Amino acid sequence: MDAVTPLPPAAVEIVALSKRYAAGAPPAVDQIDLRIASGSYCCLLGPSGCGKSTTLRMVAGHESVSGGDILLDNRNITNLPAAARGTAMMFQSFALFPHLTALDNVAFSLKMKGVSRLERHRRAGQLLERVAMGHLAQRKPGELSGGQQQRVALARALITEPRVLLLDEPLSALDPFLRIQMRAELRRWQKELGLTFIHVTHSQEEAMALADTMVVMNHGLIEQVGTPHQVYNHPASEFVARFMGGHNVLETPGGLIAVRTDHMQIAPAATADSGLAARVTDVEYQGTYVLIGLQLEGAAPARSGVSVLLPEKVFATHPYAVGDHVGLGWSPSDARPLGPGAVRPEREPPAGPVSRPAPLSALASMAA
Ligand SMILES: Nc1ncnc2c1ncn2[C@@H]1O[C@H](COP(=O)(O)OP(=O)(O)OP(=O)(O)O)[C@@H](O)[C@H]1O
């Protein structure tokens, strides 16, 4: 029997996708490969400038590609106009037309396609019902709450019956309370609709709460792809461990490792029979937990700062104070070896049939 688990069907497949905005400038996206499973929630995550919005805009057709292919349901859409791709975009702060009612906002793209007023209002009304906004169809965006506007924006994106919904920082304009509420709604809608969502965010917390698959990007490259659990518990590189937060990166004779701050062991120096010597520099009360900041003794300055997260009750049994000398340790099973991180691909793909798969544009046209 074949032991290899078949890959789930990919809604979106990105192959060697690149974007260079100007000749001589470093690529904003550098030959990335990615498969996004059909019906999944994918979050593109990374620091400002890592190339996540550029990637999303290339999938949407709002940005030309410098190289590579984008397939949607095995159809090569790389050079199709945005409206012909089967994708729809939901923007930051929703970009609703302020002078149009919710109903007309949702119906807008059908109007552009020449659909009759009766028919486009019927379909827009149905979609507004679907997102529990039917009763507010005649309101203008200024008369709706942030959450209600988000639902109108979702209905507007869905009216073109996309296979893939692209969301560019859709929650960043909301206040923190509403953001948490709305992200739960996004997740529920995605599951209910069964669509593929690709959501760009710079928030680790948002990506972890929403994603089936997280894609961590840095400098135009993909550092790691995995479930939130995989990425958080097995960061592939120092960049991912530091970017995700909640980890210490430690130099050991066997190489760099990451240990979660809540998996660190701490003991007063006098009782610690082994472990790393450190001094407490900071104690931050966080309610359920207490975060202790420390400086490792004798470590390189760039890697000497570490943290330990203790449950409040554990901290209460030994309330460490700034200046205390302690010993730090961890269980070997909590140590995660870190790899070197994403490797920048060769500038030019090497010639010849062996080193590179057939371009997907060719495969897609063969399959058609
Ligand atoms: N229209 C443009 N012209 C030139 N350079 C651009 C353009 N858009 C983006 N860039 C550059 O490409 C790189 C990637 O930008 P991109 O917007 O994709 O990053 P991002 O990860 O989405 O960042 P942010 O979270 O700040 O939006 C950056 O160095 C950016 O300065």
Instruction: With respect to residue 366, please indicate whether it lies within any of the assigned structural domains.
Output: no
Kindly state if the Cβ of 349 falls inside 6 Å of ligand 1: no
The two tokens of residue 240 are 């991912």
Looking at residue 142, its pLDDT comes to 93
**Orientation of helix 117-130 relative to helix 102-112, angle to 10°:** 130
Instruction: With respect to residue 299, please indicate whether it lies within any of the assigned structural domains.
Output: yes
Contact 317, 266 (CB under 8 A): no
Task: Tell me the CA–centroid distance for residue 242 and ligand 1, in Å.
Answer: 22
Q: What is the CATH number of the domain that holds 314?
A: 2.40.50.100
Looking at residue 287, its pLDDT comes to 93
Distance of alpha carbon 301 from its chain centroid, rounded?
Answer: 31
Instruction: With respect to residue 95, please indicate whether it lies within any of the assigned structural domains.
Output: no
Task: Tell me the CA–centroid distance for residue 48 and ligand 1, in Å.
Answer: 8
Q: Which atom of ligand 1 is nearest to the CA of 57?
A: 18
Nearest CA to ligand 1 atom 3: 21
Looking at residue 363, its pLDDT comes to 40
Looking at residue 263, its pLDDT comes to 97
Instruction: With respect to residue 209, please indicate whether it lies within any of the assigned structural domains.
Output: no
| Boundaries of domain holding 310 | 246-337
pLDDT in tens, the chain (368 residues): 445 566 666 789 999 999 999 988 899 999 999 999 999 999 999 999 999 999 999 999 999 999 999 999 999 999 999 989 999 998 766 678 999 999 999 999 899 888 999 999 999 999 999 888 999 999 999 999 888 888 899 899 989 889 999 999 888 877 888 888 888 888 988 998 899 999 999 999 999 999 999 999 999 999 999 999 999 999 999 999 999 999 999 999 999 999 999 999 999 886 656 579 999 999 999 999 999 999 999 888 888 999 999 999 999 999 999 999 999 999 999 999 999 888 887 765 544 333 334 444 444 433 43
Q: How many domains does the chain have?
A: 1
Kindly state if the Cβ of 49 falls inside 6 Å of ligand 1: yes
Instruction: With respect to residue 265, please indicate whether it lies within any of the assigned structural domains.
Output: yes
Nearest CA to ligand 1 atom 1: 21
Instruction: With respect to residue 273, please indicate whether it lies within any of the assigned structural domains.
Output: yes
Instruction: With respect to residue 280, please indicate whether it lies within any of the assigned structural domains.
Output: yes
Task: Tell me the CA–centroid distance for residue 94 and ligand 1, in Å.
Answer: 20
Instruction: With respect to residue 269, please indicate whether it lies within any of the assigned structural domains.
Output: yes
CA distances (Å), 263 to each of 10, 67, 93, 260, 310, in order?
Answer: 36, 43, 39, 5, 9
